[in-house]
Amino acid sequence: MEPQFQSFLVCCTAVITNEVSKGLTQKQISLTYAMAIVSEHAGVDRPDWPRINGSIADRWGLKGLERVKKLAWKRLGERKVK
């Protein structure tokens, strides 16, 4: 049996806001957003969602924010978030 492990993201707020300011795509940021959701639910980090969402909305508007969230949750799929 192979050992199982999980990866988590720390400093989620800084990472995502930095990605937005560096010009990453919505698709790329959605991956980090998904990791932030998992990390928060695992109790590893406490993302500042208003700041993160504000950063994304400032760059792409509310439709862009909705798109990033939708892509993030799609990536999580049926995954059970602990």
Single pTM value for the model: 0.88
pLDDT at 79: 60
CB contact at 8 A, 64 and 25: no
Residue pair 59/23 in contact by the 8 Å Cβ criterion: no
Residue range 41-56, pLDDT digits in tens: 999 999 999 999 999 9
